[in-house]
Structure 1
Amino acid sequence: MHRRILAPGVLAAASLLLAIPASAASYSPGAPGIGDPYYPDYGNGGYDVSHYDLRLKYQPATDELEGTATLSARTTQDLSSFDLDFLLDVSEVRVNGTEAAFSASGQHELVVTPKTPLAKGTAVTVVVRYSGVPSTKSAYGFTAWHRTPDGAVAADEPEAAWWWFPSNDHPSDKATYDVSVAVPDGNQAISNGTLQATASQLGWTRYSWRQNKPQATYLATLALGKFDVTTGVSEGGVPVINAYSKDLGDNDGAARASVERTGEIVDWLSGYFGPYPFSAAGGYVPNTTTGYALETQGRVFYSPKQFAKGANVSLIVHELGHQWYGDDVSVKGWKDIWLNEGFATYAQWLWSEHEGEGTAQQLADYVYASHPADDPFWTVKPGDPGADNQFDDAVYDRGAAAIQALRDEVGDTAFFRILKGWPTAHAYGNASVADFQKYAEQISGKPLAALFDTWLFQPTKPAAAAASRPLAAAKSGAALARPKSWKKIESAHEAHRG
């Protein structure tokens, strides 16, 4: 038998360990990703942000951006360090007023190590001072910062924040925003929400915007350049702020003919989806070469290319439909993208009915009949399409057909109660496809698991009998006439994908 002898130093160390509270051992780094299987490195673990205060200065001639971001957050675990998603050059980080260590990691991570570890449930104020030229930065081979002849635009999905502010970049961590930007006199800064103030000094004008409702990071936008700004109030009382680049050229008239109908369409959509959920509506059209549109919250981003063939009101309907389905109620994870794109597309189908250019049923029948059973279109599952197929046609078209199948199954009375009640039931929060199914079952009183599985999760074409209505032409294999609205609706999908 051998007895282990501990040296005095070891005994002292052991005594010291015993003196440290057991909870200290639980301090650990926050995860570098929030846990989304589609984008494992997006977002971060360990904290939840409630507000972003961004004070920026931008020089259009050189694309130089400098700023101070103040994040108000609360820890969700005992943290020894945490990550922010960010690409620009950082000069200082403070956590609760004290300087913190920081370093870059991976393609878009800023690792912050506070001087004192943070206990779970702690209110935290993080200040990040930074600068850089966003157009010189890329991650994973792309950029979400788009230069224009007179400035730049930050707008993209599923990420855009990294190029202009540090964040917890995932839709599940929504926050309110104050965005204050100084630009040389004669330029403007456009962002989400309402304009709180403008102030000029020494050749610079500062624009201060406020988004007072929770907003996902990818829905935060910034447009810098020379714009013509129009303001008004919809008949239903919603303030509308639109902005057009002063050098849109031949696309200017069609852009205005489309975007200036925002107030009318917001009021019309309110009849289906409930009261407009934000303090202001509107859109902006910068002189960018990008080809997509994006439902940036309360201030939709449109590419001038979408108006090259004339007015494109169906696109406006799609992006404004997202204000309820995607912005007010945001996805829990990116696999829930059907809750965004299926319903924004269905808003276009309702608009088609309104315009007498094809009913929702006719559009659903056309989708069904125009894709044979062996078409790869049916292999994409709208309820969980995978990251590579997140913006596939099937998510939009099969996704909207699934909504029409739901309407057929539960009847118009229950269906329109579901459509209007959902944004209120999950207002300013996050939800999943499973949550929507549960809600639809609750309102309709019908079991819907089989219908949701057939239309959203099976990689095959649903049997014609899967819809309550006959789909007679589809059953017989006869060709269906293409609804008049079809090309307009499809062009909106292209606009969203770029």
Structure 2
Amino acid sequence: MRSTSARVRPGLAAVVVAATLLGGCSSANPGGDFRAGAADLGDPYVPGAGNGGYDVEHYRLAVDYDPASDRLRGQATVTAVATQPLSRFNLDLQGLEVTAVGVDGDRAQHRRDGDELVVTPARGLTQGSRFTVTVEYAGSPGTRPNGPLGGGGFLHTEDGAIALGQPYSAAAWFPVNDHPSDKATYDIEVTVPDGLAALSNGVPGEQRSAGGRTTWRWAQRAPMASYLTTLVIGAYRVETGTHAGKPIVTAVPEQLPETSPEAVSLARTGEIADFLADRFGPYPFDSYGGVVVTDPRVGYALETQSRPVYGPAFFRSGQPNFGVVVHELAHQWFGDSVAVTQWRDIWLNEGFATYAEWLWEEHQGGRSVQRTFEDRYAATDWSLPALDPGPEQMFGTGVYQRGALTVHALRRTVGDDAFFAILQAWTAEWRDRNGTTDDFIELAERVAGEQLDGLFDAWLSGATRPAVPEPG
């Protein structure tokens, strides 16, 4: 995320047009201790977000959207594993009307409790069993507040829609376990009127047109946090190709010329990704890309997995903005492939993405990383922590700038060889997983062969200006 103002939980997910339900493993529980899954995963930064009792593996989503009426119809098939004996469980879903729910081929009872969809299967689900939930739903999707960032969720536009937001957004357009600790894979089908693009995450599939409507298909095979899903519908000029043997898809609104700063910036996506891969390790996904939107309600850029979305504020100068592309692509390693377990550790996302901007600036002949460090060090408000900054400061300068200062302080302490070895070990060993600050410190100490907890305490959380380490 770029604004203008950890433990492992593997998963897999999807929504389909067919109403057929996949078979699962529900049965009577010999222990008789079926109980309801939690309606909240307990992250204090996002009260009410996420649900307990199961781990999603895969979402298959099939949605049909009509911009003229702002009406969406969807069918979602969610494949999950019960992490406890379940009598019922919740999915996050905002506002949309649910017409039918099935679990393992049997119709299930369902009710709404605010933004929670409460599902009671015909039989209890035993711990460790894989089960499949199908939800049919419809309505006009709504916006979803994103705290200090402002608007998010499902934004209806003049020619389509934008589904986007952090720390959550997915529940505005499909039923989901809406917390980054439950990552899953996705198949996404989106049907829209002919002539409109429907852009999402991952590898593009075959497009099919019938009856004046076109279905766009996307597949994200690497586990993805729900807030990293996106759906951008409208009149876009879509460029497709390959980079490093993988699909690359970029899109800008049709009204923007090919020489616009937005288009020029996105055109360097592959080059920038290669630069980052040299420092962070192999690019972690099966596709590349980016999408520019012009809706002023999107006052940020977001690292939506494999295909970041860039808001208009970053191009108001009339010049290309490669820094924001660097920032969001760096998140593909730090924040997407390796995701946070709880939002208190968001510096692990933003500190490294900000540091990537410093690396790129030096690479392009601008300020050295050390000079940027010195400038930021002098200007930092050390009363604002990078670690556990509080919900109101999730996207504050303490997280971004102090987080990046911590990264460089680590580099100065351990030296370049150990520093880049730490970064590449983190992105390799924790790929497709969820990590914490403690996990990162433990790995850094192991790779560097020295104790570093005092360094991280001072630079991430200390209330006074820390001493700058001597170069390692």
Same fold flag (TM > 0.5): yes
Q: Does residue 42 of structure 1 match 2:49?
A: yes
| Cα pair distance change 1:21/1:435, threshold 3 Å | closer
Q: Does residue 54 of structure 1 match 2:54?
A: no
For 1:54 and 1:362, the matched residues in 2 are separated by 47
Written as runs of structure 1 = structure 2, the 5 A alignment for 1:158-169 is 158-169=167-178
Written as runs of structure 1 = structure 2, the 5 A alignment for 1:396-435 is 396-435=400-439
Quote the offset at 1:387 in angstroms.
1.2
Quote the offset at 1:137 in angstroms.
7.3
Q: Does residue 351 of structure 1 match 2:353?
A: no
For 1:349 and 1:21, the matched residues in 2 are separated by 56
2:208 corresponds, among 192, 199, 203, to 199
Identify the structure with the greater helix proportion: 1
Q: Which residue of 2 aligns with 1:437?
A: 441
1:55/1:181 contact within 8 Å kept: yes
Q: Does residue 73 of structure 1 match 2:75?
A: no
Q: Which residue of 1 aligns with 2:314?
A: 306
Aligned residue for 2:60, secondary structure, equals: strand
For residues 84-125 of structure 1, what are the alpha-carbon distances to aligned partners after superposition, in whole Å with 9 as ceiling and x for unaligned? Answer: 01011111110111111111113x211111111111111110
Quote the offset at 1:252 in angstroms.
6.8
For residues 5-26 of structure 1, what are the alpha-carbon distances to aligned partners after superposition, in whole Å with 9 as ceiling and x for unaligned? Answer: xxxxxxxxxxxxxxx97711x2
Q: Does residue 324 of structure 1 match 2:326?
A: no
For 1:237 and 1:454, the matched residues in 2 are separated by 43
1:156 corresponds, among 165, 187, 191, to 165
- Superposed structure 1 runs of 4+ greater than 4 Å apart: 136-143
Bigger mean CA deviation after superposition, 261-270 or 135-144: 135-144
Q: Which residue of 2 aligns with 1:237?
A: 245
For residues 299-346 of structure 1, what are the alpha-carbon distances to aligned partners after superposition, in whole Å with 9 as ceiling and x for unaligned? Answer: 101112311211100000000000000111000111110110000001
Q: Does residue 253 of structure 1 match 2:260?
A: yes
1:55/1:180 contact within 8 Å kept: yes
Q: Which residue of 2 aligns with 1:467?
A: 469
1:23 corresponds, among 19, 22, 31, to 31
Aligned residue for 2:135, secondary structure, equals: strand
Written as runs of structure 1 = structure 2, the 5 A alignment for 1:81-160 is 81-87=88-94, 88-106=96-114, 108-135=115-142, 143-160=152-169
Aligned residue for 2:356, secondary structure, equals: helix
For 1:454 and 1:157, the matched residues in 2 are separated by 28
Q: Does residue 172 of structure 1 match 2:176?
A: no
Quote the offset at 1:35 in angstroms.
2.2
Q: Does residue 366 of structure 1 match 2:368?
A: no
For residues 397-454 of structure 1, what are the alpha-carbon distances to aligned partners after superposition, in whole Å with 9 as ceiling and x for unaligned? Answer: 1110101100011011100111122110101111001100000001000100100000
Bigger mean CA deviation after superposition, 382-391 or 335-344: 382-391
For residues 277-307 of structure 1, what are the alpha-carbon distances to aligned partners after superposition, in whole Å with 9 as ceiling and x for unaligned? Answer: 1111110012311211000000101112311
2:143/2:155 contact within 8 Å kept: no
2:41/2:48 contact within 8 Å kept: yes
1:449 corresponds, among 442, 453, 463, to 453
Q: Does residue 279 of structure 1 match 2:286?
A: yes
Greater relative contact order (Cα < 8 A, sep 6+) = 2
1:149/1:287 contact within 8 Å kept: no
1:247/1:287 contact within 8 Å kept: no
| Cα pair distance change 1:120/1:35, threshold 3 Å | same
Quote the offset at 1:233 in angstroms.
2.6
Q: Does residue 64 of structure 1 match 2:71?
A: yes
Q: What is the letter of the counterpart of residue 266 of structure 1? A: A
Q: What is the letter of the counterpart of residue 425 of structure 2? A: G
Aligned residue for 2:217, secondary structure, equals: strand
For 2:431 and 2:287, the matched residues in 1 are separated by 16
Aligned residue for 1:94, secondary structure, equals: strand
For 1:136 and 1:367, the matched residues in 2 are separated by 35
TM-score of the aligned structures, taking structure 2 as reference length: 0.90
1:170/1:216 contact within 8 Å kept: yes
1:135/1:143 contact within 8 Å kept: no
2:143/2:151 contact within 8 Å kept: no
Task: Structure 2: give runs of 5+ residues left out of the alignment.
Answer: 1-27
For 2:29 and 2:300, the matched residues in 1 are separated by 54
Quote the offset at 1:378 in angstroms.
1.4
For 1:397 and 1:440, the matched residues in 2 are separated by 20
For 2:66 and 2:254, the matched residues in 1 are separated by 18
1:157/1:218 contact within 8 Å kept: yes
For 1:435 and 1:410, the matched residues in 2 are separated by 18
TM-score of the aligned structures, taking structure 1 as reference length: 0.85
| Cα pair distance change 1:92/1:139, threshold 3 Å | farther
How many equivalent pairs are there?
440
Q: What is the letter of the counterpart of residue 369 of structure 1? A: A
Larger Cα-atom Rg: 1
Quote the offset at 1:461 in angstroms.
2.2
2:152/2:166 contact within 8 Å kept: no
For 1:132 and 1:336, the matched residues in 2 are separated by 35
Quote the offset at 1:63 in angstroms.
1.3
Quote the offset at 1:241 in angstroms.
0.6
Quote the offset at 1:239 in angstroms.
2.6
Task: Structure 1: give runs of 5+ residues left out of the alignment.
Answer: 1-19, 372-376, 471-498
Q: Which residue of 1 aligns with 2:225?
A: 216
For 2:58 and 2:452, the matched residues in 1 are separated by 38
Of all paired residues, the percent bearing the same amino acid is 46
Q: What is the letter of the counterpart of residue 469 of structure 2? A: A
Q: What is the letter of the counterpart of residue 110 of structure 1? A: L
Aligned residue for 1:228, secondary structure, equals: strand
Aligned residue for 1:439, secondary structure, equals: helix
2:143/2:172 contact within 8 Å kept: no
Quote the offset at 1:143 in angstroms.
4.6
| Cα pair distance change 1:139/1:314, threshold 3 Å | closer
For 2:454 and 2:353, the matched residues in 1 are separated by 23
Q: What is the letter of the counterpart of residue 467 of structure 1? A: P
Quote the offset at 1:138 in angstroms.
7.1
Quote the offset at 1:237 in angstroms.
3.4
2:143/2:154 contact within 8 Å kept: no
